A and B are shown apart, each in its own frame.
Chain A
């Protein structure tokens, strides 16, 4: 019976990145994926004829350019197109737009506050400084602060040096940044509600926190440290939908000789004397591998795919304590024409960017209160994009695909499972909000897919529907991610590794966890990592 060099459980973007790097290092790699397509949460699916849905992740920025280059992804079709704008609609019929042009941006802000317009430069300087501090950490394995191994000490020293390289003022700001709420942070720069809401949204997307929760300033950084071709902080659409990322990865993987099996759900990991030996599929088929890498989240991996008795108590306890509450849902809509927003001029670049209807921090926070109480938000926060305005390949000419990311949606409704009626109620809260700003919107809808945390978990396998495979709070970052003591992609079982977003540096279509895990695996195998680019310089 064949034994693969490595079996990757799950063909999400991190699993595929990991597989690509291992395959290119000369390993014979198999990816097993439960769905009959690959891509995990980065897919494009034709859910109604002619329309491609980016039905989970929907925009791109965080995906590391080093990985795109190493794996030749552009050759396999990956192209990212930057947004042209964005807006927060106000209830009074006006809106606040974001423009790429610095001066247009300032003049737009000045419509609401001259002071805020001129405060933007200092704000962006301070945020940029923090991003520059964090960015190099993305492509490194987090050190274990309790370890005395030279490598961990070296990494700790690196961290310490980077920190010491900051001025005293920046150090203080860094410490505050990690502990402040985005709302309080913004209060120190801006005075206008809608402008604060405009920035605060990056502090909550994907998290089970409100803008007034300490720690959300860091989440903002998490969304700012990406780039589109060198334009730091920029976001864009992957041409052909987010599936283009994983399609390119799969193609690159296959081109280098890798094997993918779809419709192959793993039932459990084969363990023998504390060592992973392969996987057993749902149908009972056993596949052997010298090592197994799980792209699934840490809870799924160790509470479902591995038997408890194989794991040390303390590890198990920590895995059980891992926080992975889902906080968001999606409503994906096929439209027979471009919706109109009377507030927007027809030629506005905002149509080609991200749109929001939550014009104050308070509305955002109240939406979060609903989540805490176990309800979906009555007045939800939407991050809405129409990628077809920039990427006509996703829908028939003149027709459009719209993606609405919705917060908040709890993993359970009042403590019970979601029902279909709940799902419909959730969808209605979204459609009603859009229709308020876009008369006739309902009539344009051709098809709609609604995904609550229940659907996200069922289809993509993200526990509790958490899109980051684990919450992004300090207790689950860096050397704490996913759990203390196992933040270096390894697990208590020999030959079993983790490569999903549950691991450092966390969620978003970033690819860094998959890459970093590959580096650790190759290190264990004493194989060369010369095919892996180091992190780009931050100068």
Chain B
């Protein structure tokens, strides 16, 4: 008897382990995961227009990509950013560790602040860009497009720090647009008005907490919210309910992508190729070559790639430059080749659109120096516009302009505008 009772739990544990394993194995049946917000997205997905974002089923659009864009600029738009890769970096040496890995000076990033940063390999080539959230003196969250666990773990050698991947565990939402502050306030997030641009704070939600930062990828007034996956749906509902009178709408990536281009922001593996994915050696880029040179802080302590970056600068080995272009006319120049004097190929447009906010035909392009750097005159783009099975070839003048293409005061205004 005694034996039988002893045996039983063992068997149950073994069975439980096997069934847990069986459950874990079945991902081959669900090639695209749903995010924690999937039930809500599915309910709103009138276009059923999905794409694969890092293994998740993410919407290109939900109901109308044009109107979704205008929801960002005139109301409040809710965008699911859960598929972003997220790492929790924690420990007494977390600050020193991140300062050593990333370009910007992390010792200057106070708890409760966020900054946009990038990190490089030994050769000074950009591995990725991303946002770094300082949640406490010893706790950070790093969000990025690509995955970097081996790199982060290997970099952690000699630091008292833990690095944990928490992409699936943490759900994220971007709430962007002029009424976004009002939505949050009405949802009861008291104190959110105190958040200045790049501030973050913790707020109670559904028996737990949500971290809200005044950040975003739209160049507009906006916030990003991170919450444990099991509190995702209640957060969504809370925002949607509160935002009903403020015109809140859920949106897909196409709309967000337009907003980010107007804001002059770049996307990894769209505007540049990340170093761990570049099969062709000439596709690698240094920060100075993709407009991220401003992040480099040679005064701070050693950071990865410093030697190579410094050498490239002093020996003038920078080969490329990323620029904003304003192109005549209104035909988007996506993936157009850039010419000097209409004949010499000098670069490629990586993103382009007609900007409704700027009323200009804008683009981001990567050019071979000195073009775009010291030679900025007489640049042209050749647009192949496919119209009813024919290319309309257009050679249009392009002007190098500063990014962002639009600057909205409400993005940084304090207190945030209450629409």
Determine whether A and B are in direct contact in the complex, meaning some CB atoms lie less than 8 angstroms apart.
yes
Asked whether B25 lies within 8 Å of A111 as measured between CB atoms, the reply is yes
Contact code string B265-285 (vs A, CB < 8 Å = 1, else 0):
000000000001111010000
Partner pick for B150 among A108, A122, A166, CB 8 A cutoff: A122
Chain B residues, Cβ within 8 Å of A91: none
Indicate which residue in B29, B123, B276 contacts A121 across the interface (CB closer than 8 Å): B276
Cβ contacts under 8 Å, B150 to chain A: 115, 118-119, 122, 189
User: Which A residues are in CB contact (< 8 Å) with B52?
Assistant: 103
Q: A103-B52, A122-B276, A166-B281 are in contact. List 19 more A-B contacts (CB 8 A).
A: A95-B25, A97-B28, A101-B28, A103-B33, A108-B28, A114-B149, A117-B147, A118-B150, A119-B149, A121-B276, A121-B277, A125-B277, A167-B281, A169-B123, A189-B150, A345-B22, A345-B26, A345-B28, A349-B28
Considering the chains assembled together, what is the distance between the CA atoms of A132 and B148 in angstroms?
25
Q: Contact: A118 with B28, CB < 8 Å?
A: no
The 6 closest A-B pairs by CB, nearest first: A103-B55, A118-B149, A118-B147, A119-B150, A167-B281, A107-B27
Cα A347 to Cα B149 in complex, Å, equals: 31
Residues of B within 8 A of A114 (CB): 149, 165
Residues of A within 8 Å of B278, CB to CB, are 125
Interface string of A110-154 (1 = CB under 8 A from B): 010011011101100100110010000000000000000000000
Q: What residue in chain A is nearest B281 (Cβ atoms)?
A: A167
Interface string of A61-100 (1 = CB under 8 A from B): 0000000000000000000000001000000011101010
User: Is B54 engaged at the interface, CB distance under 8 Å to the other chain?
Assistant: yes
**Shortest distance between the CB of B51 and any CB in chain A (Å):** 12
In the bound complex, CA of A137 to CA of B364 (Å)? 38
Cα distance, A339 to B267, chains bound together (Å): 48
B153 at the interface (CB under 8 A from A): yes
Q: Is A348's CB within 8 Å of the partner chain B?
A: yes
Q: In the docked arrangement, what's the CA distance between A153 and B412, Å? A: 66
Query: In whole angstroms, how far apart are the Cα atoms of A166 and B279 in the complex?
Result: 11
CB<8 Å pairs between A and B, sample of 24: A85-B28, A94-B25, A95-B25, A101-B28, A106-B55, A108-B27, A111-B24, A114-B165, A115-B149, A118-B147, A118-B150, A119-B149, A122-B276, A125-B276, A125-B277, A125-B278, A128-B279, A129-B279, A129-B281, A132-B279, A345-B22, A345-B26, A347-B29, A349-B28
Contact code string B143-184 (vs A, CB < 8 Å = 1, else 0):
000111110010000000000010000000000000000000
Q: A520 in the interface, Cβ–Cβ < 8 Å?
A: no
CA distance A373 to B148 in the complex (A): 44
Residue on B nearest A129 in the bound complex, by CB: B279
Q: Please, which residue of chain B has its CB at the minimum distance from the CB of A113? A: B149
Residues of B close to A310: CB separation below 8 A = none
User: Shortest distance in angstroms between B57's beta carbon and chain A's nearest beta carbon?
Assistant: 11
In the docked arrangement, what's the CA distance between A2 and B4, Å? Answer: 88
Residue of A with least CB distance to B123: A169
B376 at the interface (CB under 8 A from A): no
A104 and B18 contact, CB distance less than 8 A = no
Q: Which residues on B sit within 8 Å (CB–CB) of A125?
A: 276-279
Residues in A whose Cβ lies below 8 Å from that of B277: 121, 125
**B279 A104 Cβ-Cβ under 8 A:** no
Chain B residues closer than 8 Å to A111, beta-carbon distance:
24-25
A111 to B27, alpha carbons, bound, how many Å?
A: 10
Q: Are A104 and B24 in contact (CB under 8 A)?
A: no
Indicate whether B7 reaches chain A with its CB closer than 8 angstroms: no
Instruction: Tell whether, in the assembled complex, residue A99 and residue B54 are in contact, meaning their CB atoms are under 8 Å apart.
Output: no
B357 within 8 A of A: no
Is B413 engaged at the interface, CB distance under 8 Å to the other chain?
A: no
Q: Which residues of A contact B31 (CB under 8 A)?
A: 101, 103-104
- For A94, the chain B residues whose CB sits under 8 A away are 21, 25
Q: Determine how close the nearest CB of chain B comes to the CB of A170; give it in whole angstroms.
A: 6
A residues at B contact (CB < 8 Å): 85, 93-95, 97, 99, 101-104, 106-108, 111, 114-115, 117-119, 121-122, 125, 128-129, 132, 166-167, 169-170, 189, 345, 347-349
Main DSSP-derived SS at the A contact region: helix
Whether A121 contacts B28 by the Cβ 8 Å rule is no
With both chains docked as a complex, state the minimum distance between the C-beta of B46 and any C-beta of chain A, in angstroms.
26
Report the Cα distance A174→B24, complex, angstroms.
Answer: 38
A349 CB contacts on chain B under 8 angstroms: 28
State the CA gap A115–B279 with chains docked (Å): 21
In the complex, are the beta carbons of B153 and A115 less than 8 A apart?
Answer: yes
CB distance from A286 to the nearest CB of B (A): 55
Collect the chain A residues with CB atoms within 8 Å of residue B21's CB.
94
B269 → chain A closest CB, angstroms: 11
Query: Chain B 244-286 against A: per-residue CB contact (8 Å), 1 yes, 0 no?
Result: 0000000000000000000000000000000011110100000
Per the bound structure, the CA–CA distance linking A398 and B80 in Å amounts to 46
Interface size on B, residues (CB 8 A): 28
Which of A97, A106, A114, A169 counts the most chain B CB atoms within 10 A? Answer: A114
CB-CB under 8 A from A170, the residues of chain B are 281
Interface string of B19-45 (1 = CB under 8 A from A): 001101111110111000000000000
Q: A101-B31, A103-B55, A170-B281 are in contact. Are A118 and B22 (CB under 8 A)?
A: no
Smallest CB–CB gap between B146 and chain A, Å? 8
Chain A nearest CB, measured from B306 CB (Å): 18
Q: Which of B54, B165, B278, B279 has the most CB of A within 10 A?
A: B279
A510 CB to nearest B CB, Å: 23
Contact: A104 with B281, CB < 8 Å?
no
How far is the CB of A521 from the nearest CB of chain B, in Å?
Answer: 36
Query: Residue of B at shortest CB range from A92?
Result: B21
Report the minimum CB–CB distance from B162 to chain A (whole Å). 13
Shortest CB distance B308–A (Å): 11
Partner of A107, one of B18, B55, B149: B55
Q: Select from chain A the residue with minimum beta-carbon distance to B22.
A: A345
Give the Cβ gap from B213 to chain A, nearest Cβ, in Å.
25
Tell me the minimal C-beta distance from B156 to chain A in angstroms. Answer: 11
Residue interface bits B282-300, CB-to-A below 8 A is 1, else 0: 0000000000000000000
A351 to nearest B CB, angstroms?
12
CB distance from A174 to the nearest CB of B (A): 12
Complex Cα spacing A311 to B31, Å: 61
CB of A414, distance to nearest CB on chain B (Å) = 42
Provide the residues of chain B in CB contact with A108, threshold 8 Å.
25, 27-28
A435 vs B279: C-alpha distance when bound (angstroms): 42
Q: Contact between B281 and A121 (Cβ–Cβ < 8 Å)?
A: no
**Other-chain residue from A97, A103, A122, A189 in contact with B54 (beta carbon distance below 8 A):** A103
Closest to B26 in A: A345
A172 to B361, CA, bound (A): 45
**Once the chains bind, are A121 and B147 in contact (CB under 8 Å)?**
yes
B70 CB → nearest A CB, Å? 32
A155, B150: Cα distance in complex, Å: 40
B123 contact set on A, CB distance < 8 A: 169
In the bound complex, residues from chain B placing their C-beta under 8 Å from that of A119 are 149-150
A118 to B153, CA, bound (A): 11
Q: Which of B114-154 contact A (CB under 8 A)?
A: 123, 146-150, 153
Q: Chain A residues near B26 (CB, 8 Å)?
A: 345
Give the one of B27, B146, B165, B281 with max A CB within 10 A: B27
Which B residues are CB-close (under 8 A) to A121? 146-147, 276-277
Closest to B147 in A: A118
Query: With the chains together, A118 CA to B281 CA distance in Å?
Result: 21
Interface contact A345-B55, CB-CB below 8 Å: no
Nearest CB in chain A to that of B148: its residue = A118
Name the CB-closest residue of B to A350: B28
Contacts of A106 on B, CB cut-off 8 Å?
A: 55, 147
Q: Is B28 in contact with A348, judged by CB distance below 8 angstroms?
A: yes
CB pair B25 A345 closer than 8 Å: yes
Q: Is the CB of B25 within 8 A of A104?
A: no
State A157–B179 Cα separation when bound (angstroms).
Answer: 65
Bound-state CA distance A108–B55 (Å) is 12
Please give, as numbers and ranges, the residues of chain A lying within 8 Å of B279 by CB-CB distance: 125, 128-129, 132
B25 CB contacts on chain A under 8 angstroms: 94-95, 97, 108, 111, 345
- C-alpha gap A169/B27 in the complex (Å): 37
B149 cross-chain contacts in A, Cβ below 8 A: 114-115, 117-119
Give A539's nearest chain B residue, CB to CB: B280
Complex interface: chain B residues within 8 A of A93 (CB): 18
Which chain B residues border A85 with CB–CB below 8 Å? 28
